[in-house]
Structure 1
Amino acid sequence: MLRATSLFITLGLSHSAWALVPPDYQEPPSDFSAEIEAGLQINTGNTESSSFNGRTKLVYDTDKFRQEGVFKAYFASDSEKTTSEKYDVQLQSSYKIYSGYIFARGDFTEDRFGSYTRISTVSTGYGFDAISGDSTKLSLEVGPGYRYNLPQVSESVPDPEADREIILRTAAKFEQKIHEYTSFNADLTAETGEANNTVTLDMSYKNTLFQDWAFKIGMNIKYTEVVPEGSKQTDTVTTFNLLYTFK
């Protein structure tokens, strides 16, 4: 009798647990997401080399705020010496309002072999979603900022002075979902100042291989109107990466 009672209680508890957790249950979506990628890099412009790169993107998105951080590292060397070493940090905090969002942003670059070895830009402004569909998204941003550029050392200028100026930053962020497993992204940013102007186009094509793994082709093109003597105005970085996404 005791054994039959225990079996009845066990079956009853199992049935209750099954009712509380159905077989098709899924965890609710998280406010946090991240991307980690690494792969081959090909440089043209001020740096001619090929090597490896890494990128990490962290996003915390809630009803009122969106916090985003992107960290990039580029490194290349040949048989004799290091030929490329660059680090990028992009941080943005956005407060969502009815018509769009107000943001504060910081962009920081350390580039050992670039025309400018240190670039720091802080900006603030207003952004909004011009298109917000299931497959197509377009966000526009505009606002003032401050830019600090430290030119590369050269024989003619062994101790260069940093350029400091107020700028106007405008940006367009485009995302197109081609189909379930493929997407295309393009970010266009322009910084306009009295002494110098820059335009940066960052494009990527991503194809999901399986589950959270994807293959990504990226291209970053940056044009700087005024560069130190002996430097090129356009830098291009092309990457072929394996990307992992988790939430």
Structure 2
Amino acid sequence: MLKKLTVVFALTCPQVAFALVPPDYQEPPSDLTAEIEAGFQLNTGNTESSSFNGRTKLVYDTEQTKQEGTIKAYFAADNEKTTAEKYDLQLQSSYKINGGYFFGRGDFTWDQFGSYTRISTVSGGYGFDAISSSKTNLSLEIGPGYRYNLPIATDDMPIPEANKDVILRTAAKFEMKLQEYTSLNADLTAETGEDNNTLTLDMSYKNTLFQDWAFKIGVNVKYTEVVPEGSKQTDTITTFNLLYTFQ
């Protein structure tokens, strides 16, 4: 009798273990996603150089809220001096409702060689998904805000006066999965104010190399209608980065 019980137990244990932990089992996705990338850049516009850039993005997405934070750093130098030094900080908090979400957002830029060396924009409003599918997503946002711009010092104005403006911010965020391992992202943001208007296009193409590693090409184009004398209205940054995703 004991031998029969032993045989039955030995035969049933593998089936029980297989039922509890199937071979294709994967851990459930986490609410927290992080991206870290670094690589080479080309600058045209107010700065002409090529050098290093880095970016870190954190997203905490739950059923009710979504928190996003992005830090970007750009640095370039030639044989004689630093030619580009820029830091961007973007923060957004969204509260989801049926059919859309309310958001609060802050955009902060420190740019030593830009037409404006300090840019701070705080905005809020409403957003919704105009298109949402397994391969394509388009989100639209609109809301009022406040912008602080500090122009770069010039010979005519060695101590520049900051511009403070109430704005209307509109944004379109587009994501498309082209193939299993490739994707395209494009963000278009317009800030309309009484004293100045800006239009920013941020595009990227990502190709997964293996597992969590990907190669990413990015282009950031910003047009500013009113700039200090001697500055260009359009700044362009092109990046070629290696990206790693934590999930």
Give the TM-score range, shorter chain. over 0.9
Distance 1:52 1:13, change over 3 A: same
Residue of structure 2 in register with 1:51 after alignment = 51
One-letter amino acid matched to 1:240: F
Residue of structure 1 in register with 2:172 after alignment = 172
Residue 142 (structure 1) aligned with residue 137 (structure 2): no
Comparing 180-189 with 6-15, greater Cα deviation is found at 6-15
Residue of structure 1 in register with 2:122 after alignment = 122
One-letter amino acid matched to 2:160: P
CA shift for structure 1 position 75:
0.3
One-letter amino acid matched to 1:63: E
Residue 153 (structure 1) aligned with residue 153 (structure 2): yes
CA distance in 1, matches of 2:73, 2:171: 23
- For structure 2, the 5+ residue unaligned runs are none
One-letter amino acid matched to 2:121: T
Residue of structure 2 in register with 1:236 after alignment = 236
CA shift for structure 1 position 10:
8.4
1:64-83 to 2 correspondences below 5 Å: 64-83=64-83
Q: Which digits, 9 at most, give the CA deviation of each residue in 1:88-138, with x for residues without a partner? A: 000000000002000000000000000000000000000000000111110
Residue of structure 2 in register with 1:41 after alignment = 41
CA distance in 2, matches of 1:96, 1:141: 13
CA distance in 2, matches of 1:144, 1:7: 73
Q: Which digits, 9 at most, give the CA deviation of each residue in 1:13-37, with x for residues without a partner? A: 6664443222221101111111111
Residue of structure 1 in register with 2:101 after alignment = 101
1:193-204 to 2 correspondences below 5 Å: 193-204=193-204
- For structure 1, the 5+ residue unaligned runs are none
CA distance in 2, matches of 1:68, 1:23: 34
CA distance in 2, matches of 1:13, 1:182: 43
Q: State percent identity of aligned pairs.
A: 76
CA distance in 2, matches of 1:21, 1:197: 57
Residue of structure 1 in register with 2:246 after alignment = 246
CA distance in 1, matches of 2:15, 2:238: 56
CA distance in 1, matches of 2:8, 2:231: 81
**DSSP-derived class of the 1:23 partner:** coil
CA shift for structure 1 position 246:
1.5
CA distance in 2, matches of 1:56, 1:8: 55
Residue of structure 2 in register with 1:223 after alignment = 223
**DSSP-derived class of the 1:19 partner:** helix
CA shift for structure 1 position 7:
10
CA distance in 2, matches of 1:20, 1:65: 33
Q: Which digits, 9 at most, give the CA deviation of each residue in 1:130-181, with x for residues without a partner? A: 0001111100000000000000011110001110010000000011111111
Q: TM-score, normalised by structure 2?
A: 0.94
CA shift for structure 1 position 6:
9.7
CA distance in 2, matches of 1:7, 1:158: 90
CA distance in 2, matches of 1:11, 1:80: 76
Residue of structure 2 in register with 1:28 after alignment = 28
Q: TM-score, normalised by structure 1?
A: 0.94
Residue of structure 2 in register with 1:90 after alignment = 90
